[in-house]
A and B are shown apart, each in its own frame.
Chain A
């Protein structure tokens, strides 16, 4: 059985690297991108879960989520932010979730696993 593919987008290379490490440790196949444009250029084909930072130059996390959903409405998308003031949880609805930095890595992994399980089950 193929490993589920997780796409990660964060414009901060340090955070991006740490997320790659976390998701790899959980056995997922990772595609990492330093910007939304990079992800869109690569395409969403084969991606099972999308984890994206919200505050980024170019398309931000919300736009990226909407673009991805347009292509695949069932795609679980996890939005990550360091901004405390973002409380617009309505905008984060749908499959996936909303995570505020710093967050517990185990919680993220559990959420990803649930989303994938839900989708497959």
Chain B
């Protein structure tokens, strides 16, 4: 094939062959006859789109293409129109549209095709391929202009392109549009002087630019191809030509790696001829590990492995797929994906290889950028302090971020129910049913999901969480996924709850306090009354508003006792004017008309600036307190009046007891005596003894009576003014004999001239005698010195008389003044009680103290007649 313009010739293959060659490179392909009827589609592609050849070729209605059912309704018309035009004109077919997949989901795809022509140049069939694309490059532009546009810019200047190079330029432009990948190629451009100049140009999907090629690297005079014979590689070259038509570049090599064909533009872009490609750089055959010329066109870092992998493919027959950086003639390195497939003869022996290298530089860079972005996104998703998850369109859990698992302890599988649906396993059982219902509702309707519920933590506790999810939609508005985020709002919820509870508590507190509580504005207008106050008054705030006065005046006039009204108003006015606390006791009218005493206190509540924002007041019902005080006063008066009577009652009871004792004995003895006498025979002896005892007992009863009479003997000289010293001496004289007998010394010391207010001399003397006798009794059993001391001296307006002994002291200081309390065998326990009564009756006091160093000291006071004192 010694022609230099290989690309211009038509390959001697049919559309199905071409499609199968393409399929081996891109994975899917199709072929139609000249009329557009499908004669081949890659079986896997048919399955992928859930269709069949018959179905694609069927014509359900007139003017409707069989493949309508796999194209999105919005895209079909444009695609069908383009396809019909291509069939008519032989233009390249290149359309982006959404295709319905077997899964029921539409996805964007680019469908490309081109005619294959027979030797006459008439279209013999079509072949092409379908490539999935994530997003259409120009979603609004699928009416076929795409097919025109790639060629448009170059075509405008196509006249300036060397006729030999025009197909290559067209191919490059088409490739750019097929794949959205910029293409670099070169061509000879017609100059004004009629000469041609090599131009390297870059074709972007939307535009193309051309630049002059440095003549130093462009070998303008080198031939396009050096292969003198295709040898066995005829099939491989044919295949390469078919691919070249679709991708703009292809090549064929023989079984030892020698190029027999390479698309001229591919050669020019790396500035290598076939000879350059095939040269053995170190004299060693390529298959034996030698370096071959084409490896110089690869980036040094990739060159070695490119060679190794191709060598292995050549040896084993495995397909060759390799990505490497191509070193362009202009020094740039551009990522390419190279692929090569073997051709075989009838015996299955490999006869050659055909392959292509697609420019994937942008893809690579985009992919790297995407990977980086994805990595960053993943990192972001895993490090943001939020629980993030996603589900499929139907709600099937698809992802939970790291934090989600750390916080809840649940992994993706834990969140997925056995049937694949969302388990909501971290939602509190009490909240789960409602949350699931809400989520499923969102999934059905596409309405964003928001829900608050308790969410389990890894430790087993639950925290209030707010979860929001939004659907992510594709261009067509179809939901692709749901993205959700769960935020911990526990503290917010609990603090809100606590606040609510606290408010409620406070409200309850105010409402239930046993007090009447109210609030008023700074000007005094009432704005709140507690329930108790409302009940007490029988009306509420607004009820006094229609009286033609301010609410405050209306209220005060209605509820304050008329006698208190003036002072209440005055006090209120003062407090409102000055901010001073308000405090007043007044009568407050109850709903039933009864006035009760209350104590009202109010104080100003101020804001941060010290301004009064409200008055808070409390009325305490003090009616009972007032009444109780009155009761108390009355009781105290009664007590004072009855105390004397009470002590007399005590006295009489005591005396009765003291008299009863011997009397009881007398009666017992009498009964006994009677029995002794009436016994058979009468016991005269016992009766006589009993009679003696009766007499004895009767005498002791008489003693008691006489002692009592002595104590209370009514003095004829009731109001005596004798000097106290005389009275004391008289008492001492009375007891002198007894004291001597009991070996007791009596010491008397006292001021002279102590004159008492008129008193009952006999009674006071009896008190003295009683106290002295007690003192003597107390010393009856003490071994040490028995001294009884009487002292009398002035203390202010009173005279103080002390009777001290040196006995064992007072054992029961609390009890000794109680009637009948006695520590003495023969005592009746009346002496101190009566003595105290007598002293108190004289306006004095009587009490006990400790004597020093030991013993007891009984002290009493009597009022002095100060006027008569010197």
Contact = CB atoms under 8 A, between A and B. Distances in A.
A89 interface: no
A21 B669 contact: yes
Contacts of A85: 653
Contacts of A84: 653, 656
Q: How large is the interface on B (under 10, 10 to 19, 20 to 34, 35 or more residues)?
A: 20 to 34
Interface string A97-108: 000011111101
A55 to B, nearest CB: 8
A82 B660 contact: yes
A104 B666 CA distance: 10
B220 interface: no
A106 B675 CA distance: 9
Nearest to B675: A25
B700 interface: yes
A103 B653 contact: no
B653 A26 contact: no
Nearest to B700: A14
A72 interface: no
A16 to B, nearest CB: 9
A60 to B, nearest CB: 14
B693 interface: yes
Interface string A28-59: 00000000000000000000000000000000
A15 B690 CA distance: 13
Contacts of B675: 22, 25-26, 109
Contacts of A82: 656-657, 660-661, 664
A114 interface: no
At the interface, is chain A mostly helix, strand, loop or mixed? helix
Interface residues of A, number: 23
Interface string B412-453: 000000000000000000000000000000000000000000
Contacts of A67: none
Contacts of A102: 660, 663-664, 666-667
A101 B659 CA distance: 10
A83 B661 CA distance: 10
A63 interface: no
A64 interface: no
A15 B667 contact: no
A9 to B, nearest CB: 14
Nearest to B670: A105
Contacts of A25: 671-673, 675-676, 679, 686, 690
B659 to A, nearest CB: 9
B662 A22 contact: no
Nearest to B820: A55
B645 to A, nearest CB: 15
Interface string A67-93: 000000000000000111100000000
A105 B668 contact: yes
Contacts of B693: 17-18, 21
A101 B661 contact: yes
Nearest to A23: B672
Contact of B664 (A21, A101, A106, A109): A101
A84 to B, nearest CB: 6
Contact of B671 (A12, A101, A104): A104
A18 B690 CA distance: 9
Contacts of A105: 667-668, 670-672, 674
Interface string B235-251: 00000000000000000
Contacts of A15: 661, 664-665, 668
Contact of A14 (B653, B657, B697): B697
Contacts of A17: 665, 693
A84 B693 CA distance: 25
Nearest to A109: B671
B668 A19 contact: yes
Contacts of A24: 672
A14 B699 CA distance: 12
A84 B672 CA distance: 25
Nearest to A16: B665
A18 B669 contact: yes
Interface string B760-771: 000000000000
Contact of A22 (B657, B663, B671): B671
Contacts of A104: 667, 671
A104 B671 CA distance: 7
Nearest to B696: A14
B657 to A, nearest CB: 5
Q: Which of B653, B668, B669, B676 has the most CB of A within 10 A?
A: B668
A101 B657 CA distance: 9
Q: Which of A15, A17, A83, A102 has the most CB of B within 10 A?
A: A102
Contacts of B669: 18, 21-22
A101 B653 CA distance: 13
Given A21-B693, A25-B686, A106 B671 contact: yes
Contacts of B656: 82, 84
B660 A101 contact: yes
B653 A18 contact: no
Contacts of B668: 15, 18-19, 21-22, 105
A110 B10 CA distance: 158
A88 B564 CA distance: 53
Contacts of B670: 105
A12 B664 CA distance: 11
Contacts of B662: 14
A24 B685 CA distance: 14
Nearest to B663: A102
B675 to A, nearest CB: 4
A26 B686 CA distance: 12
Given A84-B656, A85-B653, A14 B671 contact: no
B664 A18 contact: yes
A21 B667 contact: no
A22 B687 CA distance: 11
B661 A14 contact: yes
Contacts of B697: 14, 18
Contacts of A22: 668-669, 671-672, 675
Interface string B387-422: 000000000000000000000000000000000000
B665 A83 contact: no
Contacts of B657: 82-83
A82 to B, nearest CB: 4
A109 B675 CA distance: 11
A5 B668 CA distance: 18
A109 B669 CA distance: 13
A86 to B, nearest CB: 10
B502 to A, nearest CB: 55
A21 B690 contact: yes
A38 to B, nearest CB: 16
A103 B671 CA distance: 10
Contacts of B664: 15, 18, 82, 101-103
A12 B704 CA distance: 15
A90 to B, nearest CB: 21
A6 to B, nearest CB: 13
Contacts of A18: 664-669, 672, 693, 697
A110 to B, nearest CB: 11
Contacts of B676: 25
A45 to B, nearest CB: 26
Contacts of A83: 653, 657
A40 to B, nearest CB: 22
Given A83-B653, A84-B653, A14 B665 contact: yes
Contacts of B673: 25
Given A18-B665, A21-B672, 10 more contacts: A12-B661, A14-B661, A17-B693, A21-B668, A101-B660, A101-B663, A102-B666, A103-B664, A105-B671, A108-B671
Interface of A: 12, 14-15, 17-19, 21-22, 24-26, 82-85, 101-106, 108-109
18 contacts: A14-B697, A18-B664, A18-B669, A18-B693, A19-B668, A21-B668, A21-B669, A22-B669, A22-B672, A22-B675, A25-B690, A82-B657, A82-B664, A85-B653, A103-B664, A105-B674, A109-B671, A109-B675
Q: Which 3 pairs between the two chains have the least Cβ-Cβ distance?
A: A105-B671, A18-B668, A18-B665
